[in-house]
Amino acid sequence: MISGHYGYFQKLNRCLTGIWLVVALLLGSSAGYSQSVLQKARPKRQYIENDSYFKTSRMNSLSSKITKEETPFGLSFYASSGTDFSKEQTNRTYNQTLSLSGAYKLTKTQSLGLQMGVSYYAVDNNIPKEEGNPVWDDLSLSWSHDLGEINNVKLSQNVSTFAPTSYDSQFEGIKTGLSYSLGASHKFYFIQFNHGLSAAYTQHTYDYSPTTNKKNSAWSNAYTFSVGVPYKISKDASIGISQNVANRSAFDGNYTLVTSTLIYGGYKIGKAKVSLNYLVGSYDENKTMRFFYVNEWEQKVTLGVSYEI
């Protein structure tokens, strides 16, 4: 059984690597910054704000789709491959993801959502055989409610929970969690603003995190903000740039501030959409905010393909 799954991931990795050969020719100039140390070790898994941002965006897109159409449910398949182009590597590491999102319309303004996925990494065309590669992501269940508009400001609320099926959650000893979020979005001329305010409860096994050695807090809250300039080239093609900020704080006074700059593009082909995201830089130093920060040592490029039914 294990060898069968492994062979499947090997075939999928060859396919994604083939696509990357074309992208690498276009983005070769992005590797201007180099690092002399060759990194062959497995990259440290982290909670990345942008990954969460994209998962939420895909679910919102699916919920919006079934709200506008007559169909009561929808499915979205997503596959992506990402790598760090800031480093000159003899053996390049690619982070691959596969995910499935489902949404069911309860009313014209309410829907249920389910997300699950698997991720793995490969070095060139080889998938290392080790614990945690591949791994399941957390299985999440959510309820979304469109609250309408007030003075051209779109409001929404969301309640979500998850099962700790991911390697990260199990390593951290997370049992489960529940969160509530309130979102607002509006446009000022051609500039798009998004705000999010959330509170979450997480049940931990350990008093201290095995990764950071900091004391775990059951209750936390977060404020997220993004400002972007989307531009529609045609009916099916679009590009844009956005600045994302996330301030996550625990009720014990500790907080983490993450800022990141993202350049993105997308093209629709029927029910499918091809996307290319370039994370210029991410900065997570506490009590410091850097807008349009360029990280010389980490510039992640991700190629993704989604298909909605």
Buried b (16+ CB within 10 A) or exposed e, 249-266: ebeeeeebbbbbbbebeb
**CATH number of the domain within which 268 lies:** 2.40.160.40
Residue type, 71: T
Q: pLDDT value at position 25?
A: 38
pLDDT of residue 303: 92
Provide the pLDDT for residue 261: 85
Q: Are 227 and 243 a contacting pair, CB within 8 Å? A: yes
Q: Which amino acid is at 159?
A: V
- Tell me the per-residue pLDDT of 33-77, one tens digit each, with 9 for 90 and over: 222 222 333 333 333 334 455 566 666 666 666 666 667 888 889
Whether the pTM exceeds 0.75: the reply is no
Residues of the chain with pLDDT under 70: 1-70, 87, 89, 251-253, 282-293, 295-297
pLDDT tens-digit profile of 220-261? 888 888 899 999 999 999 999 988 888 878 766 677 777 888
Tally of structural domains, the chain: 1
Instruction: Single out the residue of 247, 224, 189, 170 nearest to residue 56, CA to CA.
Output: 224
Phi, psi values for residue 37, rounded to 5°: -80, 125
Residues 71 and 69: their CA atoms lie apart, in Å, by: 6
Mean pLDDT of the chain: 76
Range of the domain at 209: 2-308
**What is the structure's pLDDT at 283?**
66
Residues 6+ apart with CB under 8 A from 204: 172, 173, 174, 175, 216, 218
